[in-house]
Structure 1
Amino acid sequence: MSLAKELEALKEFQCPDGKCVLSVYLNTDRANQDQQKGEWKIRLKNGLKKLDEYLEVSGNATQLKNYRKLKTKVKKEILGNQVNLQKSVVIFGSEEGDLWSVHYLQLPVETSFYWENYAVVDQLESLQNDFPMSGVILTNMDEIKIIDTALGEVNETRTYTFDPNTEDWTFKEGLAAAEHIASGASHVDQYQQRFEENMNRFYRKMATNIERMKRDRKWRTVYLVGEPDMTRTMKAELRVDVSKSVNKNLNNARPSQVLANVFK
């Protein structure tokens, strides 16, 4: 489940008997000057250690036991997924309440650690206001990719391919552009020329789908990514506001890399 959908449930989560929820916000953004050498590892270790010391002094053996189980689980999760680190990691866990929620985000957070009887979600609520449910549209000559995102996470990626015979866009999961364009150079040149001459008309059909998705998925913002002439054309055809255009061809990039370019 996406973090945006989990947020409401996290707000309502409560421990019936004392503190039992560990909330972890860890900034892992390597673009920061103070993160160049993996300083997040030190902050993770120190943050968890301070909570351990606090609970040890409190004398609550049950809470300390539960916390240490969660502390071990958190360290194993993050250190075991270093290759997946983006700009931040957000974790909520409860040994008694059977809560375990882990999210690797393309948005930075302020590193902080909490041990309470509820999930501390203030940073998430702030991020939700700044980065609400959105659509990222990657434009290409014969392929449109749409990333549904919220809170810096990828909820879904959809790919639409253009059929020159029907002059229509079709949702095709896992179909690459090379599979439906003939390999002959002259054919490709003719196809490209025809598409460029009719780009406005062809994009207008796709724009209708995007407008429908914005309404149905409750996107508050729309971003365009692609070559300048293609993003300009798509923007002209869309009857919705475009918050930002990123003039790069990122059609072969991973969705997380696309979001990194959009949200930087």
Structure 2
Amino acid sequence: MSVSKELQALQNFNCDHRCVLTVYLNTNPADPEQQNGAWKIQLKNGLKRLDEYLKASKDESEMKAFADLKEKVAAEIEEHQNDLLKGVVIFASENPKLWSVHYVQIPVKTNFYWEDHPVTEQFEYMIKAYPQAGVVLPSFGEVRILDTAMGFVHDEKTYSFDSGLDVWREQKGLNSANQRGTGGSHVDDLDQRLRENLDRFYKDMGTIVENMRKTKGWKELYVVGEADLAKSFAGSLRQKPNNCIYKNLINVEPNKVLHQVFER
């Protein structure tokens, strides 16, 4: 399910009584306030405060429902504590059933809620600031596509370019005299055909990207690459990208690519 569809489902979710635990937890290791795993204390204290509030209300059914969810949420985060990014967002309910977990690579402000609905305001802001987007990195040898939302890469695909030309056979068929006398024209012909084949490859890839834009619900699209290649790929798209970034990041790890796109 896409993030936007999940948000819509969360907004439509409701209980007859309070049954939804919403957790926003800042786990950013670069945050000075999160040194030495401070998020563990914040998680413990946040859940404890809700627990004390419910005990004061003396609602046995709510107390039991919360106790079960509290343990489940704590176990989920503890299980993934070595893989935490900048934040965790969890929406949980036992009856009716709800379990929505997001490990995100963007800032999160720690908050805990126990309500009859998921508290989605911060989640909505995160999606607006870091929307579902496609990031396309065209190069001479391949096209790399990142499917992202909220600063996190959900999927990555790479398509390799086959020039369709046997360069070595072209060169082997020339004797030394021909190479000296007409080598330039052969190279020009080869370069021209190579460029034509690359343009065809980009056109085919443009169709694939347009289909992905629709099926994955991308709100934005970015093209990142050397200027001539990025411009060429952007020209293959029916709808212009939101931005072209003229940097060769084809071999850069995904999170650093997203930093260049969304946090410049």
TM-score, length of structure 2 as denominator length: 0.76
Asked whether the equivalents of residues 3 and 132 of structure 2 are also in contact (C-alpha less than 8 Å), the reply is no
Residue 142 of structure 1: aligned partner: 141
SS at match of 2:161: strand
SS at match of 1:163: coil
Cα separation, 1, equivalents of 2:208 and 2:234: 14
AA aligned to 2:206 is: A
Distance verdict in 2 for CA 1:52–1:162, change over 3 Å: same
Distance verdict in 2 for CA 1:257–1:96, change over 3 Å: farther
Distance verdict in 2 for CA 1:88–1:262, change over 3 Å: farther
Aligned counterparts, 1:233-252, within 5 A: 233-235=232-234, 238=237, 240-243=240-243, 245=245, 247-251=247-251
Residue 10 of structure 1: aligned partner: 10
Residue 124 of structure 1: aligned partner: 123
Asked whether the equivalents of residues 134 and 148 of structure 1 are also in contact (C-alpha less than 8 Å), the reply is yes
What is the CA deviation profile of residues 98-154 of structure 1, one whole-angstrom value per residue up to 9, with x for unaligned ones? 211111112222111100011111112222222222111122322112122233344
Cα separation, 2, equivalents of 1:213 and 1:40: 37
Higher helix share: 2
Cα separation, 2, equivalents of 1:72 and 1:36: 24
Asked whether the equivalents of residues 25 and 109 of structure 2 are also in contact (C-alpha less than 8 Å), the reply is yes
Pair 1:87-2:60 in alignment:
no
Q: Which moved more, 1:112-121 or 1:3-12?
A: 3-12
Structure 2: runs of 5 or more not aligned: 169-186
Give the number of the structure whose alpha-carbon radius of gyration is greater. Answer: 2
Q: Which moved more, 1:204-213 or 1:61-70?
A: 204-213
Asked whether the equivalents of residues 141 and 195 of structure 1 are also in contact (C-alpha less than 8 Å), the reply is no
Asked whether the equivalents of residues 135 and 219 of structure 1 are also in contact (C-alpha less than 8 Å), the reply is yes
AA aligned to 1:111 is: T
AA aligned to 2:15 is: C
Residue 152 of structure 1: aligned partner: 151
Cα separation, 2, equivalents of 1:75 and 1:215: 37
Asked whether the equivalents of residues 3 and 103 of structure 1 are also in contact (C-alpha less than 8 Å), the reply is no
Structure 1: runs of 5 or more not aligned: 168-181, 183-189
Asked whether the equivalents of residues 28 and 34 of structure 2 are also in contact (C-alpha less than 8 Å), the reply is yes
Asked whether the equivalents of residues 163 and 194 of structure 2 are also in contact (C-alpha less than 8 Å), the reply is no
Cα separation, 2, equivalents of 1:242 and 1:74: 37
AA aligned to 2:90 is: I
Residue 29 of structure 2: aligned partner: 30
Asked whether the equivalents of residues 105 and 152 of structure 2 are also in contact (C-alpha less than 8 Å), the reply is yes
SS at match of 2:23: strand
Cα separation, 2, equivalents of 1:146 and 1:196: 25
Distance verdict in 2 for CA 1:79–1:260, change over 3 Å: farther
AA aligned to 1:88 is: G
Q: Percent identity?
A: 44
Give RMSD over aligned pairs: 3.2
Distance verdict in 2 for CA 1:231–1:87, change over 3 Å: farther
